[in-house]
Amino acid sequence: MNAVGQSTESLERVGLRHYSPPMAKAEQQSRLQRNEEKWSPLLMEAGWTAIPSIILEKQHALGLDAMDVNILLHLARHWWYRDNPPHPSKASIAECLRVDPSTVRRHIAGMEAAGFIRREARYKPSGGQENNMYHFDGLIKEATPLAEEAVRERKQQQQERVARRRRKGSRSVVDNRSGARGNRE
């Protein structure tokens, strides 16, 4: 079991092979502070949404259009704990996006058909239906290889920068005052 009570196998199943445990409170505070510096404390206090950058950066590779991404952002806005999937109404998402609810329904159905999200019906004890819950396991699984590639590329670029700096630092230079060659330090 990991820090959020999930088995390693369940994380593997949804593509979370590289799960990181929750960060220390000091790091959380530092990140919040950096975001407050960028956006202002008032905007951050009003609420914020976390979504992996790779989903935005690779939306075309994933086959997501702008409306899909907007809907995902609105769903993510309501998802704070892994074990409590978001369940906003399609009408409330449509109202925020200023589109017809049928547009939201159509895009959600498309993302479900592509395997990115999974809808789970919820029912009231009296028998009436409530808003669906939305699960992102498919999107996480599809985005994980793209994230792994991006992380590998970033690490390789960093190693190349370090190697370039080392090569620059060890080049021979001419000392114009004496005409002697020496190593740069």
Average pLDDT over residues 22-31: 82
**97 found inside a domain:** yes
pLDDT for residue 9 is more than 70: no
Evaluate whether 85 touches 91 at the Cβ level (below 8 Å): no
More confident residue, 84 or 173: 84
- As a whole-number percent, the residues of the chain with pLDDT over 70 amount to 79
Residue 178 pLDDT exceeds 60: no
* Residue 36 lies inside a defined structural domain of this protein: no
User: In the prediction, which pLDDT does 43 show?
Assistant: 93
* Distance between CA atoms of residues 177 and 34, nearest Å: 48
Residue 123 lies in a domain: yes
Query: Average pLDDT in the 150-178 region?
Result: 81
Burial class (CB in 10 A: 0-12, 13-18, 19+), 6: middle
Other C-beta atoms closer than 10 Å to the C-beta of 151 total 12
How far apart (Å, rounded) are the C-alpha atoms in residues 179 and 47? 64
12 located within any domain: no
Asked whether residue 52 is assigned to any structural domain, the reply reads yes
CA 29: distance to chain centroid? 19
Which residue range(s) make up the domain with 76? 47-143
Segment holding 149, helix H or strand E = helix 137-169
Distance from C-alpha of 134 to C-alpha of 99, rounded to nearest angstrom: 20
- pLDDT in the model for residue 6: 41
- Please give the model's pTM, rounded to 2 decimal places: 0.73
User: For 16-30, 134-148, 150-164, which range has the lowest pLDDT when averaged over its residues?
Assistant: 16-30
Q: Given a cut of 80, is residue 185 above it in pLDDT? A: no
Instruction: Say how far apart CA 185 and CA 183 lie, in whole Å.
Output: 6
CATH number, domain with residue 95: 1.10.10.10
Q: What distance lies between CA 152 and its chain's CA centroid?
A: 16
Q: For residue 179, is pLDDT > 60?
A: no
* Domain count along the chain: 1
Higher per-residue confidence, 15 vs 34 = 34
Instruction: State residue 180's pLDDT score.
Output: 53
**In this structure, is residue 133 part of a structural domain?**
yes
In a domain, 178, yes or no: no
Q: Does 19 reside within a domain?
A: no
